[in-house]
Amino acid sequence: MAVIIDGRAIAQKIREDAKRRTAALLERGIRPCLAVVLLGEDPASASYVNAKEKALAEAGMDSRDLRLPASTSEADLLALIASLNRDSLVHGILVQLPLPRHIREERVITAIDPAKDVDGFHPVSLGKLVLGQTGFIPCTPNGIAALLRELPITLNGAHAVVLGRSNIVGKPLAILLSRRDINATVTICHTGTKDLASITRQADILIAAAGKPALVSADMIKAGAAVIDVGVNRVEDPSAKKGWRLRGDVDFKAVSEKAAYITPVPGGVGPMTIAMLIRNVAEAAEQAGNLH
Ligand code: GUN
């Protein structure tokens, strides 16, 4: 039976550290501030944004809550980002994804000043990650790396299989895990992968970030593997109060009987993403205050 990894507890330690850093900044008259931009009313995006703003407040940080209609033009959004880039009271800028279809995500992300790119999605941030230079690391991959470091397993030389190649999770995670400080051997699987199970069964560490509920079944994993579930799929559940519940990319019940470690959904990767965001905002504010 697998040990269930308590993402909330690990995240809490990171948030407490960010809170201490915030208190030190406040003493110097700097209040870390994240501008959070959300277009439209998607309930999942709204709930993520609410959770992020709550965590900022708990750390003693400020947030600029910018909720705009889904019909906002790309030009208006770019103008808003330009003004946030210039605003010295704003240390970080987060534009919640996905954006409405009429807006080019790439244009918007590239418009953010890399010094305020606490999501780590800007080409400069991702380029630095690839090159091993210091920069903002995307929060979900960074949170997963932090979780893995907490486990009593050897990461050096381990075979990590990443399911999914998104720009915000799969791709940066693969780069991060293969860096020398973690030193895993990484395989990326995606929708074009043939005989997926034959590859996932080789994984010492399996990270499921495919966005498909219960994609990973028990026969797809090696006994004793560490399984990290990034999926946050809303599935219908008439017995639930809201009519739906969250389901990960992993068949939790079956896989937890075979894995050595497993993250739950919710309570695994999600809290780590938020903790890393808070840490990045502290970092951005320190850099703006030249405290490094
Ligand atoms: N949408 C899903 N995850 C994220 C994230 O980490 N940051 C932003 N900005 N949007 C997201």
Mean pLDDT of the chain: 97
Active-site residue flag, 258: no
CA of 224 from ligand 1 middle (Å) equals 31
Pocket of ligand 1, candidates 119, 269, 279: which has the most ligand atoms within 8 Å of its Cβ, to mutate? 119
At 290, the pLDDT band (50, 70, 90 cuts) reads confident
Query: For residues 284 and 11, what is the distance between their CA atoms, to the nearest angstrom?
Result: 19
139 CB near ligand 1 (under 6 Å): yes
Number of H helices, E strands in the chain: 10, 11
CATH architecture type of domain 29-113: 3-Layer(aba) Sandwich (3.40)
Of 3.40.50.720, 3.30.110.40, 2.60.40.10, 3.40.50.970, the CATH number of 139-270 is 3.40.50.720
In the prediction, which pLDDT does 171 show? Answer: 98
In the prediction, which pLDDT does 292 show? Answer: 55
> How many other C-beta atoms can be found within 10 angstroms of the C-beta atom of residue 287?
13
- Point out the catalytic residue in the list 62, 119, 204, 249: 119
pTM of the model: 0.97
Pocket of ligand 1, candidates 96, 234, 276: which has the most ligand atoms within 8 Å of its Cβ, to mutate? 96
In the prediction, which pLDDT does 277 show? Answer: 98
273 CB near ligand 1 (under 6 Å): yes
> Residue 206 forms beta bridges with which residues?
161, 227
96 CB near ligand 1 (under 6 Å): yes
137 CB near ligand 1 (under 6 Å): no
Per-residue model confidence as pLDDT tens digits over 58-81: 999 999 999 999 999 999 999 999
Pocket of ligand 1, candidates 42, 47, 48: which has the most ligand atoms within 8 Å of its Cβ, to mutate? 48
Q: Where in the chain is the domain with CATH 3.40.50.720?
A: 139-270
Structure tokens at 65: 């809550």
Spell 7-34 as b/e; 16+ CB within 10 A means b: beebbeebbeebeebbeebeeeebebbb
CA of 117 from ligand 1 middle (Å) equals 12
Active-site residue flag, 96: yes
Given the CA of residue 138, which atom of ligand 1 is nearest to it? 6
Question: Whose Cα sits closest to atom 11 in ligand 1?
Answer: 97
Instruction: Look at residue 138 and tell me whether its pLDDT is greater than 60.
Output: yes
CA of 97 from ligand 1 middle (Å) equals 5
DSSP 3-state percent helix, strand, coil across the chain (nearest 5): 40, 15, 40
Which of 175, 201, 172, 197 has the alpha carbon at shortest distance from 186?
175
Given the CA of residue 140, which atom of ligand 1 is nearest to it? 6
Given the CA of residue 97, which atom of ligand 1 is nearest to it? 10
Q: CA 176, 152, 125 angle in degrees (round to 5)?
A: 15
140 CB near ligand 1 (under 6 Å): yes
The residue whose two tokens read 């034959």 is 198
Query: For residues 83 and 94, what is the distance between their CA atoms, to the nearest angstrom?
Result: 14
Per-residue model confidence as pLDDT tens digits over 15-50: 999 999 999 999 999 999 999 999 999 999 999 999
In the prediction, which pLDDT does 289 show? Answer: 86
Q: CA 248, 267, 32 angle in degrees (round to 5)?
A: 120
Q: What is the average pLDDT across 166-182?
A: 97
CA of 169 from ligand 1 middle (Å) equals 9
- Point out the catalytic residue in the list 62, 96, 204, 251: 96
Q: Where in the chain is the domain with CATH 3.40.50.10860?
A: 29-113
Instruction: Look at residue 153 and tell me whether its pLDDT is greater than 70.
Output: yes
Instruction: Look at residue 291 and tell me whether its pLDDT is greater than 70.
Output: no
Which of 270, 227, 267, 273 has the alpha carbon at shortest distance from 250?
227
Per-residue model confidence as pLDDT tens digits over 102-124: 999 999 999 999 999 999 999 99
Burial class (CB in 10 A: 0-12, 13-18, 19+), 129: buried
30 CB near ligand 1 (under 6 Å): no
Q: Which stretch of 132-146, 241-255, 278-292 has the lowest confidence by average pLDDT?
A: 278-292
> Residue 133 forms beta bridges with which residues?
none
Active-site residue flag, 133: no
Phi and psi at 34, nearest 5°, equal -110, 130
